[in-house]
Amino acid sequence: MAKINFGGVEENVVTREEFPLSKAREILKNETIAIIGYGVQGPGQSLNLKDNGFNVIIGQRKDSSSWEKAVADGWVEGKTLFGIEEACEKATIIQYLLSDAGQIAMWPTIKKYLTPGKALYFSHGFGITYKEKTGIIPPADVDVILVAPKGSGTSLRRLFVAGKGLNSSYAIFQDATGKAKDRVIALGIGVGSGYLFETDFKKEVYSDLTGERGVLMGAIAGIMEAQYTKLRSKGHSPSEAFNETVEELTQSLMPLVAENGMDWMYANCSTTAQRGALDWKNKFRDAVAPVFDDLYESVETGNEARITIEANSKADYRVKLEAELKELHSSEMWSAGAAVRKLRPQE
């Protein structure tokens, strides 16, 4: 492991320098990795593992859209693509990458194939952390591990193809074989992580749920909507409101933040922008701090898990979800966004 200083705090991280791909391949050379689920994380992780030289198979329900996607991605029925139960039987490592709701529904089937010495791998701590609600309680004689890429499976794959990596956390919930750490680090390197930082299942899900509901999705969408609506109410055109709210942020400023940090982005903006941003930053921070207090408490107490599980278990959940997403898609703001994106210069 390498010791890295993060803002004055030292952390142990794993990089490809001290844990190269060749070492990962050696550790997993006799393992069969079954990817169960081919939705959000499954395609990116499985394709990266395959391209990195690991023995990977896919377990998916036949005649589903995900099965067809797997075929289109080059997985071959009867060779690298199987039904869920057959894949689980063949596997020594089961990567359980179904949605949280899917994991709950499929657990009785998966559990039958968790024979002694196998490893059960997650990319989200939800099922294990809230096991009283999900019923996901692994047998004591299997390794239970986690690698959680800090981004979508699509981003994981795109960065891999570009020769880059997406940072991931890793955790060990249960080490039955004495090999759990080697297994989880090797898998983290194999799926294309930039570097790996240690966590535990509970911290992973607490930070993940907070991030998704907060800065990564919920908060930023809400703030964008509030600013866009205010500009429109004051007579600004949809194009002007969208460009000042979303386009400049995503196409100009966030790449600068990603490159060298927020302070560097500030330093590369006009003095007028710097002065205003510094004056208003703390006001926004103080305004939303109580919301984050409420959000983290809701995650910590299990309330967010309860809401998610109850919603997902309703027969009309998918219909209602599609209606909510359609409302977002059809809003003036994101309709304007679709028009703006079409006007971007083509490469």
* Most distant CA pair in the chain, distance: 67
* 236 assigned to active site: no
Direct distance between the N- and C-terminal alpha carbons of the chain, in angstroms, rounded to an integer: 41
Question: Of 100, 163, 88, whose CA–CA distance to 130 is shortest?
Answer: 100
Calculate ∠ Cα 301-305-309, nearest 5°: 145
Phi, psi of 327 (to 5 degrees): -60, -40
Question: Of 222, 213, 208, whose CA–CA distance to 294 is shortest?
Answer: 213
Are the beta carbons of 72 and 44 closer than 8 angstroms?
Answer: no
Cβ burial of 304 (10 Å; 0-12, 13-18, 19+) is buried
- For the chain, the C-alpha Rg in angstroms (whole number) is 22
Catalytic, out of 124, 157, 213, 232:
124
Cβ burial of 294 (10 Å; 0-12, 13-18, 19+) is exposed
Q: Which residue has tokens 């800065």?
A: 215
Strand, coil or helix: 172: strand
Sequence-distant (≥ 6) Cβ neighbours of residue 205 within 8 angstroms: 124, 125, 126, 129, 130, 299
Q: Which residue has tokens 């499985």?
A: 46
Cβ burial of 319 (10 Å; 0-12, 13-18, 19+) is exposed
**Which residues participate in catalysis according to the annotation?**
124
